[in-house]
Amino acid sequence: MPEIKQQRWKIVEYSKRQINDAGNIIRKDNTTAEELAFATQVIDNWRAAHAYPMHVIYIHLRRMAAPRNDILVVERLKRLDSIIGKLRRETRMDLWRMQDLGGCRFITPSVDEVFHFAEEYKKSRVRHEYKRTYDYIHNPKPSGYRSLHLVYKYHSEKKDAYNQNMLVEIQFRSRLQHVWATALETMGLFTKQALKAGQGAGYVKRFFVLVSSLFAMRENCPIIPGTFKDENELVSEIEQINDQYHLLEILSAIRVALDHENGVKLDKKGYYVLILNYITRKLRIRYFSPSQIDEANTLYTQIESNHAEDEIDAVLVRAASFSELKAAYPNYFADIGEFLDLVQAHLK
């Protein structure tokens, strides 16, 4: 794989015990500045080391998707604040066992193709160790989240440095499931509510649960427990919440002005660091070539360290082109028109 060989990849610099200790330090409220700095350094290295295993799986998925142009495949490293939040919520989880530090998304037009390509991947000649499947389509989460997740432990007979319980999560989603998930994340980003983690205002969470059931009906899939099985009743409750809290109007008002580097042609393969400012609603984009993974990760870490407590949010992703990146991460571009159109069509 020539594309992989040209990269400069991070390797794990700490022991299993040090990695788990770092996760435990992050959970505590009474840590010293030195402890916190060291724990953050360990976590960042452990996360960065997942880039190579994740990319190997990403390349395989892209080959599966070819030559289709209606399937999106992207990879991403989990954001530091998301890692910390998950460690604090799930107090029994060891950082060593966190399964989604590295993740790939495979977005298909239909639910049938979600299961088709997931099975195709499982049957393909991969040396990675299959760990488990999470079927959130037939068993949706109470939050309304619907997707199919496969978890693999990376294994290579050539690069033993990464045979260290490096787990990668593959999210297979239909387009409709992806539209819902990114609309939820958009609302969470701009209202500073951890909606993905089940936190936030009750009426916002209920609104998205109801819409998820509405979308599930369109795909002939199980609806979310605790919602109406009748479409008219679902629409009626969505209308009541929206009339009172104007959530669709809030989503419609969110627009992000792109403020990328002057003269940089972004419609090409590589790494993108998206830097979103909640207050100004501006998105800055930094592009790095495929061989600049180390530089991209360094910038990503610097941004997270310097803006941990303010209005800045960042994510590091890889995509084959800028247009594909925008389609796969519309929450960072506030490109949620499809979600609004679908919901408003039902309300009308």
Average pLDDT over residues 153-160: 89
Q: What is the set of domains in the chain, with CATH numbers?
A: 2-347 (3.30.460.10)
| pLDDT at position 275 | 85
Average pLDDT over residues 135-150: 97
pLDDT category of residue 77 using cuts at 50, 70 and 90? very high
Average pLDDT over residues 164-191: 92
Percent of the chain with pLDDT over 90: 61
Which tens digits make up the pLDDT trace of 280-314? 777 888 899 888 988 999 998 888 877 655 677 78
| pLDDT at position 1 | 42
| pLDDT at position 259 | 56
Between these two residues, 316 and 50, which has the higher pLDDT value?
A: 50
Average pLDDT over residues 70-82: 91
Q: Which residue has the tokens 């979308």?
A: 215
Q: Report whether pLDDT(129) > 90.
A: yes
Between these two residues, 181 and 3, which has the higher pLDDT value?
A: 181
- Summary mean pLDDT of the chain: 89
Between these two residues, 334 and 244, which has the higher pLDDT value?
A: 244
Least reliable range by pLDDT among 3-7, 146-150, 277-281: 3-7
Q: Report whether pLDDT(261) > 80.
A: no
Q: How far is CA 313 from CA 80, 196, 279, 302, 310, in A?
A: 10, 15, 11, 12, 9
d(Cα 295, Cα 235) in Å, to the nearest integer? Answer: 48
Q: Report whether pLDDT(185) > 70.
A: yes
| pLDDT at position 174 | 98
| pLDDT at position 303 | 85
pLDDT category of residue 337 using cuts at 50, 70 and 90? confident
**Euclidean distance between the first and the last CA atom of the chain, given in angstroms as a whole number:** 51
